[in-house]
A and B are shown apart, each in its own frame.
Chain A
């Protein structure tokens, strides 16, 4: 890009020079007094610049200059001392004008805007395609999904409303039943959000192709999406069709989630659709009408979420009353020999919608029933182990630090639970839940230790505690978080960390367990690093102590 600047003010000249530099534009400056170098300006125009930037008071007749530059296809920017000059500049139809004071960024933006106005292709010619332009694009189209953002959508919705007289708005709300990001890391959440967007796109592409309906989709940030459609017909028909459409949409997204991330992760998501229909009303400003509709649809989606939550809590109460959990026993093997060392018990709900332990516990937390659920899970796990474990195998049980406040756990009656060998039971304490009162907590641990129970720190390395707090708990085992293990064969940072933890453990008489070992290469790597025990689907699938006791109930 080539810019001719006729500027006298030193501050302005500096700013323009800087802005041109940032845009990698060639700058030709003709300064000086009014009148005496008009021929310089005329000469400069003959060198085919893209833009002329000129101080208002140096322009002479702005009308003439405008005509001259327009004839040559040159953009014109005028710098004005005040609003009055600005108005005359605007009347003369310059491409851009601005007044004092100004920043380099503003001048840059004006230059770019003028350049684009003169020649829209200038943007794609490379030079002008700088950060600012990209930022605008990003504001209009979501970087993640490529869907238009809300302002673009509302503009199109307005057209739809004018044309068809009504618009139905579907608001898709995703609910996460776990702290997915905290557990699996932000990369995982990003991947999942990408998947939900892909599911939405599947739906969009298909529905748009099959039906004559107008259909538009927008990404409302994070994982919420908005559809505009013009479903027509009587209200009943429309309601029915909205339901059908919602179900298809939900099915598409769920299928994608299951395909890409497995049932466990897909189970952590609720997908809820709320709908609202608005009609053309000449008395209401169209944008306001649309935004009102979007709000209504969002509220409808939230009330579905709320209903669903109430239903899940009712299901949880049924689960507790009937003891409807079953236990999966995940084998933990000795790394060196691959012999089974013990099992980790993981409780799952029997009712549809409550299978995943994460969902189960997050619902229990909301309903304030966490102790009851924990008690049930522990009881089931211990009952099942009798038929499953060899006499020298260990049972790993998950315990939440909050459980220690539950009197029935704190004064756990070994005989009552039918535990013959407390020394074969290992309580896993997750590193994720913050332990606030260390002295009290350690006191509880001591009580259990005195009875013979052992302890493991779960999810070590997930980022909530360093080695210091692990040392404080003086556990018998450290379970390394899955994020440390996955891909460890090619990540030397992870190898180094695991090596450090193994050597720390060896110094303190602790055994290290690698969780989530899924590939041969990962197994060989942890073996090479001296990790004592290994857990993961690579060796054995989980086992059950008999099938779930309660038959699955219909919804």
Chain B
């Protein structure tokens, strides 16, 4: 089941990246990976992902900053961004809303929930185009 949709996974933790990419690949997505914010931005331009799965807590540029940069990008601003956050606090969600994120999942990530959220974002993203 090849869906031809590309997901960019951004996380500084190698184990998380491995688990998430293996899962997403098993669901038929093409997966690209970046281990920090700046790399994520150059990967974005290389692979034109349909959705970015973005960890919030990263050294250097944090996930919110990366999200802000993606969302203000003239070409890739409409890319769907799903944040992976450690806490699901109210203030965190506001931060997410302000940085332009479309959705979020809370760690530890429930894979079924993740799949559902990815699907709803991909179809909402498609609807908007």
A493:B72 contact, CB within 8 angstroms: no
Q: Contacts of A496 on B, CB cut-off 8 Å?
A: 93, 104
| Residues in chain A near residue B71, CB distance under 8 A | 187
Partner of A490, one of B93, B97, B125: B125
Q: Which residues of A contact B102 (CB under 8 A)?
A: 490-493
* Shortest CB distance A129–B (Å): 12
Enumerate A465-499 residues with CB–CB distance to B below 8 Å. Answer: 466-467, 483-484, 490-494, 496-497
Q: Quick check: is B117 within 8 A (CB to CB) of the other chain?
A: yes
Contacting residues of chain B (81-129) with chain A, CB-CB under 8 angstroms: 83, 90-91, 93-94, 96-98, 100-104, 117, 120-121, 124-125, 127-128
Q: Is the interface of A mostly helix, strand, loop or mixed?
A: helix
Which of A463, A466, A492, A500 contacts B98 (CB under 8 A)?
A463
Pair A497/B93 contact, Cβ less than 8 Å: yes
Q: Does A342 sit at the interface, judged by CB under 8 A?
A: no
CA distance A497 to B120 in the complex (A): 17
Q: Which of B91, B96, B120, B127 contacts A493 (CB 8 A)?
A: B96
Nearest A residue to B103 by beta-carbon distance?
A492
The smallest beta-carbon distance between B127 and chain A, in angstroms, is 7
Residues of B within 8 A of A185 (CB): 98
Question: For the complex, what is the distance from the CA of A500 to the CA of B93, rounded to whole Å?
Answer: 10
* Cα-based distance from A200 to B117 in the complex (angstroms): 43
CA distance A461 to B90 in the complex (A): 11
CA distance A461 to B93 in the complex (A): 10
Cα distance A185–B97 in the bound complex, in angstroms: 11
Q: Does A287 contact B (CB under 8 A)?
A: no
B interface residues, tally (CB under 8 Å): 22
In the assembly, what is the distance between CA of A500 and CA of B92, in Å?
13
Given A187-B100, A484-B97, also A490-B90 (CB < 8 A): no
Query: Which residues on the B side are within 8 Å of A260 (C-beta)?
Result: none
Chain B residues positioned under 8 Å from A190 (CB to CB): 72
With A466-B90, A466-B91 as known contacts, state yes or no: A493 contacts B128, CB within 8 Å: no
Contacts A461-B94, A467-B90; is A493 near B101 (CB within 8 Å)? yes
Q: What residues of chain A lie closer than 8 Å to B97, measured between beta carbons? A: 461, 483-484, 491, 493-494, 497
- Pair B94/A463 contact, Cβ less than 8 Å: yes
Residues of A within 8 A of B98 (CB): 185, 463, 483
Known contacts being A463-B94, A497-B93, is A492 close to B72, with CB within 8 Å?
no
A483 to B124, CA, bound (A): 19
Q: How far is the CB of A324 from chain B (nearest CB, A)?
A: 38
> Are B94 and A492 in contact, CB atoms less than 8 angstroms apart?
no
- Tell me, in angstroms, the Cα distance from A185 to B98 when the chains sit together: 8
Cross-chain contact of A497 among B94, B100, B127 (Cβ < 8 A): B94
Q: How far is the CA of A497 from the CA of B103 in the complex (A)?
A: 11
Residue of A nearest to B38 (CB): A131
Indicate if the CB atoms of B128 and A490 lie closer than 8 Å.
yes
What residues of B have a CB within 8 angstroms of the CB of A493 in the complex? 83, 93, 96-97, 101-104
A187-B72, A187-B100, A190-B72 in contact; A490/B127 too (CB < 8 A)? yes
Residues of B within 8 A of A494 (CB): 97
Please name 11 further chain A to chain B contacts, defined as beta carbons within 8 Å, in addition to the given A490-B128, A493-B104, sorted by A numbering: A185-B98, A187-B71, A187-B100, A190-B72, A467-B90, A484-B97, A492-B103, A493-B101, A494-B97, A496-B93, A496-B104
In the complex, the 7 A-B pairs of residues with the closest C-beta atoms, listed nearest first:
A492-B103, A490-B124, A493-B96, A493-B101, A493-B97, A497-B93, A491-B102
